[in-house]
Chain A
């Protein structure tokens, strides 16, 4: 089924239709999520008002992992089946994922100071998250390090796949080792450990972050496809000029 959309021309038509809908949905979800999170939800029994940091921190961290997983899958598909769109999707995801990771690190640091008493500690969760940030940066650097874009995307795809080992390490770091970061609250055995009044804004923000990512992804892939077309035209023009 997805093969149909692996054709760039068909994808462009499809993307042009759904992009405004996704954009509208994102704005709506952010409005609802921020209202619920900042105004309508209660403070936490232990952390007080600082718990509201969670509504940005946790979705950012989720998206950091989600984007990396998506990027690694795209890279695998690009390496194995050589789908042209898979490569573009991976390339378009990297800076977005890196931004989410950065946001998770910064909001976590701002939250850590008042709650734990430290901006940063080298525990397994925080360190593996920092490694994820560097993996994104490494992917982007390697992707642009070659004169031939084909070689760049091949090398960086391998890096992205190797770096995927880090994703389960991040997720389970809080279970495998003792850390300062608390264990998972939402995705865990026995259901969420968060009261419904705090969980619902978190989930709305989670979906809002996801649609935001899809929105930006569509814009970036369309831009990449257009840039490739322009490059091809310029090449043709240049070769005609030489004759």
Chain B
């Protein structure tokens, strides 16, 4: 075997091992790499009251209510489970019904008390006229990026 072939084999094997090691580490830490839990995962994980977590999903249609002062109440759903959220403060522009959101905060008596709400948008880009035309012809599959759909498919 020539020296350069030796080096080639060595580099190839080292990269393979490294890739395998990285895959193992990442799958072991999956729980801490995910940015948020869906309402279903939140229920499954038995997250205790007062623990700081992020939840994500779609803002349920017709669930947005104004509370006292600057309080907004809404529900986040992953289409199989739903959780009530209470947030005090300014919401991002993209926040609306059917939109993907990520809320940061803690659970208190079954209500998620959010300290921060971020809007999530999907990977679809189109001019407004095209969006209107799609909605009119009924080919629109609800706005927002449903992370929940991926979760329930697993």
- Bound Cα distance from A121 to B126, whole angstroms: 26
- Bound Cα distance from A176 to B124, whole angstroms: 19
Q: Which of B14-22, B42-50, B58-66 lies at the interface?
A: B14-22
A124: B residues at CB distance < 8 A: 33-35
B18: A residues at CB distance < 8 A: 162, 165
- Bound Cα distance from A46 to B129, whole angstroms: 11
Asked whether B118 lies within 8 Å of A118 as measured between CB atoms, the reply is yes
Segment 45-67 of A: residues with Cβ below 8 Å from B: 45-47, 51, 54
- Residue from A46, A76, A164, A180 having most chain B Cβ neighbours under 10 A: A46
Asked whether B125 lies within 8 Å of A51 as measured between CB atoms, the reply is yes
Partner of A183, one of B91, B94, B102, B145: B145
- Bound Cα distance from A178 to B147, whole angstroms: 7
A114: B residues at CB distance < 8 A: 93
Asked whether A79 lies within 8 Å of B11 as measured between CB atoms, the reply is yes
CB closest residue in chain B, given A114:
B93
- Bound Cα distance from A81 to B2, whole angstroms: 11
Segment 100-154 of B: residues with Cβ below 8 Å from A: 102, 116-132, 143, 145, 147, 150-151
Q: Which of A101-109, A132-140, A191-199, A217-225 lies at the interface?
A: A191-199
CB closest residue in chain B, given A195:
B126
- Bound Cα distance from A220 to B145, whole angstroms: 43
- Bound Cα distance from A197 to B143, whole angstroms: 20
Given A124-B33, A161-B11, check contact A54 B118 (CB 8 Å): no
A185: B residues at CB distance < 8 A: 123-125
Segment 2-35 of B: residues with Cβ below 8 Å from A: 4, 7-8, 11, 14-15, 18-19, 22, 26, 30, 33-35
Q: What 9 pairs between A and B have smallest CB-CB spacing?
A: A117-B92, A45-B131, A42-B127, A195-B126, A123-B35, A185-B123, A45-B128, A194-B125, A182-B123
- Bound Cα distance from A164 to B130, whole angstroms: 40
A117: B residues at CB distance < 8 A: 91-92, 116-119
- Bound Cα distance from A132 to B131, whole angstroms: 36
Given A117-B118, A164-B15, check contact A177 B35 (CB 8 Å): yes
A101 to chain B, nearest CB (A): 20
Segment 149-187 of A: residues with Cβ below 8 Å from B: 161-162, 164-165, 169, 176-180, 182-185
